[in-house]
Structures are given as C-alpha cells and as structure tokens.
Amino acid sequence: MTEDTTDDSLAETFWAVASRLRRQTRESLAPWDITPSQSRALGVLGRHGEVRPGTLAEHLRIAPRSATEVIDDLQTRGLVERRPDPADRRATLVALTDEGNRVSTAIRAARRAEADRFFGHLDETDRAELARILRTLRG
C-alpha cells in the first residue's frame, strides 16, 4: 500500500465518520426543530451568557450577517432576545430567554447522550487518544 492510498483511505474514513456524526446530530435535534447552527448558538449563549452578535459570530466562526440570521430565527421562536447593552447604548446584546435556557439544557443532555452512544464502543484510552488527535488537527 502506498502512502497516497493510505492518506486517501484515512481521509475517506474521517469524512465518513464526520458525515455519520452530522447525520446523528441532525436527528438528535429533530425534536426541537433546531438546526445545528442554532443549537451551537444556544450552546454559546448557555456557556457565556449574554453577548453581542459579533461576539456570537466569532464563537460560531461564521460571518456576522449569518449570525444575525441565526439570532433572528431563534428570536422568532422565543428562544433568545435582544437587549440594549448597558455599557454602550448603540450596541445590542443577545441572551437566552427562559424557554431558550430550557431548550439549550435539553439539547445539551441529548447531545451528551448521543456522544456517549457514538463513542461508547471506545475504551477510555482510545477516547483520550482520539480527543488528543482531534484537538491537534483542529489546531
């Protein structure tokens, strides 16, 4: 087996696993009719509290305009609200509503259970090694 074949096989295997994980993520979010981007935004707000839209975009690694669309969708559903920034009256903060907190907590529990099922056949040593490798690749 040549090195090129090994690299192709490794890349193909990685993408197959990533695709499976994305599919399972979409399925786990179905009860809330939430997209992965919306779920990630709820998670950021759950971890960091109220933030400016630009800060949310940075955490999500998306364009500010895309973050505005995510915020608009979540606000329409009553999961987030925009508030004036007391430190800068020209700025806006985005915060979870009570319903947003409830949904965010439920999604976090469902995602944790999904991850346990997905990675459950790996022993602790393999999980730790996989986590180390993925953190290295993420940079």
pLDDT grade, residue 6 (50/70/90)?
Answer: low
Residue 7 pLDDT more than 90?
no
Q: Where are the beta strands (DSSP E) in the chain?
A: 80-85, 88-96
Residue 8 pLDDT more than 90?
no
Mean pLDDT of 34-51: 95
User: How far is CA 50 from each of CA 32, 83, 92, 109, rounded to the nearest angstrom?
Assistant: 22, 9, 10, 21
- Cβ neighbours of residue 62 under 8 Å, at least 6 residues apart? 37, 70
Looking at the chain, the whole-number percentage of residues with pLDDT higher than 70 is: 95
Residue-level pLDDT at 89:
87
Give the position of tokens 């192709």.
8
Sign of the torsion formed by the C-alpha atoms of 13, 14, 16 and 20: positive
Q: Which two tokens stand for residue 58?
A: 């940075």
* Each residue's pLDDT tens digit, 78-135: 999 999 999 998 999 999 999 999 999 999 999 999 999 999 999 999 999 999 999 9
Residue 20 pLDDT more than 90?
yes
Residue 3 pLDDT more than 70?
no
Give the position of tokens 């087996």.
1
Residue-level pLDDT at 99:
98
φ and ψ of 93, to 5 deg: -110, 150
Residue pair 100/107 in contact by the 8 Å Cβ criterion: no
Residue-level pLDDT at 1:
45
Summary mean pLDDT of the chain: 92
- Cβ neighbours of residue 110 under 8 Å, at least 6 residues apart? 28, 29, 31
The CA distance from 55 to 65, in Å, is 12
Residue-level pLDDT at 138:
87
